[in-house]
Structure 1
């Protein structure tokens, strides 16, 4: 089987239609009034999430984000955790099989993480191509995977069930694991859509135009809540989140040499603010590999939303000889200033 990187998708479900208690509704109205007037802080966003969390659909982005507030310890479920696990599994597969030119024998027991990989990559596969080439939908292939394989939790392996399998299934699995990419678990805009849906279902009044005017500030508060959050993966290892930009530096002058030997003046911008997921990929007889990848996307420009003190300029390392570079000095814990600029928490505490 060969491999090239695939994409990630997201589904939502309707929320809890149980009505809000009158006391909570009154508190929510006060929070919403402050937000719409632009006189709020990150604590108001924190309280908003906590008040509405019990009424959100369990597979919505809003519920996922609200869980970052509700669970201060390492979490072991949710869309972000699924995205991290899927990416770690794909990199482990690439290291152990693709880069080593090692064939995967489905007729013998194989590592259980590959079963997760089959399922996650099927959910991300091109539906039209899967139907055209293999005469089955994503749903059909998922059912076949679940019906044809069994997991042995004691040995951590997966095996074909008796008299199961077949050429059609194996060819479909070769297809879905042939294109493995990473994509953010969700965009912060998805959170805002779900938040409005919960407010409407609960008949909480808000002014659309006034609310939308504060969207970026709400997003910044959400990013601060999520940064430095930890996750527990299926194998018991830890993953974490941190606030970053799409490019961790930008060139102000000069050119750098790429691994290909070509000279480049890119990146000239930081890109947008993102939340990165970080995890360690452990592979048999290989040195552990630390990886990072986009977990939450935004349209937020760091120059507009980061405090000026975060930007540092210097001459680049040896690989960037002759270049002047700029970086953003993020910390694991980030906060918001009174004028809603991102600042390091350690710069305002103590």
Structure 2
């Protein structure tokens, strides 16, 4: 019965009927069987409960970005990072950094970087001397501000199509019709995230808001992180989800 209902909603979507309740039900009805598709699951979780998100892809990414900036900016605030500060920044940056960034900064691939960092954490905890390669890894991961979005519009759309296909709700022949609904699918994601908030791992909340205040004027969702310890309040709006849509024709 559930899939019959979802199939009806997919048919309406493919025919050009863009109804918010149809997308809501498609996410809610499939988020538990979305497989390894974190962007789809994330939007489905926002549809289910928008206030005070304390887990999920976007929440973890935002928390990592906050840690990365917080530790990197300690010197700007006249503070000396502790070992624990450097370790938590290194762990966050390992999750944030791309494979290309890790190879450029550490000289090796992700798997080797992860092994080195594990060794660094154990050695510094025992007060042991580090190898030159371990120092290089710690200096890069523990002393840089690294940022990335949680996911993009293209990733979300690809996962949306993949989930529908995996659950037998569309076929390959429906690809062109689904492409016609892409803008609606991305605008829906922007709307369900706008006005929500995430809970930071050390308490406090960070607001999510939609807009297009970037050099390319892409519609996006940013998280507003408040940075303590400066003479004046510092807010850092960081993009967590961005699309290839512009405001003309989509906003008023």
Report the CA distance between 1:147 and its aligned residue. Answer: 4.4
Separation of aligned partners in 2, 1:127 and 1:236: 30
Report the CA distance between 1:296 and its aligned residue. Answer: 0.6
In the other structure, the counterpart of 1:137 is: 109
In the other structure, the counterpart of 1:291 is: 236
- The superposition leaves residues 233-254 of structure 1 with CA deviations (integer Å, 9 ceiling, x where unpaired) of 110110121111034xxxxxxx
Within-5 A mapping of 1:231-270: 231-247=198-214
In the other structure, the counterpart of 1:48 is: 26
Aligned residue among 274, 278, 282 for 2:220: 274
Listed as ranges, the gaps of 5+ residues in structure 2 are none
In the other structure, the counterpart of 2:124 is: 160
Aligned residue among 73, 92, 100 for 1:120: 92
In the other structure, the counterpart of 2:44 is: 66
Higher strand share: 1
Aligned residue among 153, 172, 191 for 1:224: 191
SS at match of 1:303: coil
Deviates more, 1:159-168 or 1:76-85: 159-168
In the other structure, the counterpart of 1:188 is: 153
Separation of aligned partners in 2, 1:196 and 1:238: 32
Superposition CA RMSD, Å: 2.7
Does the 8 A contact of 1:244 with 1:275 survive in 2? yes
**Count of equivalent residues:** 249
Listed as ranges, the gaps of 5+ residues in structure 1 are 1-22, 105-109, 151-158, 248-266, 308-350
In the other structure, the counterpart of 2:166 is: 201
Separation of aligned partners in 1, 2:79 and 2:100: 29
Separation of aligned partners in 2, 1:125 and 1:66: 26
Report the CA distance shift for 1:229/1:102 in structure 2 as closer, same or farther (over 3 A): closer
Separation of aligned partners in 1, 2:18 and 2:100: 47
- The superposition leaves residues 65-95 of structure 1 with CA deviations (integer Å, 9 ceiling, x where unpaired) of 1111122331112221122112222222233
SS at match of 2:53: coil
- The superposition leaves residues 25-74 of structure 1 with CA deviations (integer Å, 9 ceiling, x where unpaired) of 10111100111111232121111100110101356211111111122331
Report the CA distance shift for 1:164/1:201 in structure 2 as closer, same or farther (over 3 A): farther
- 1:96 equivalent to 2:74? Answer yes
Does the 8 A contact of 1:45 with 1:222 survive in 2? no
Separation of aligned partners in 2, 1:130 and 1:205: 39
Does the 8 A contact of 1:125 with 1:138 survive in 2? no
Report the CA distance between 1:143 and its aligned residue. Answer: 3.1
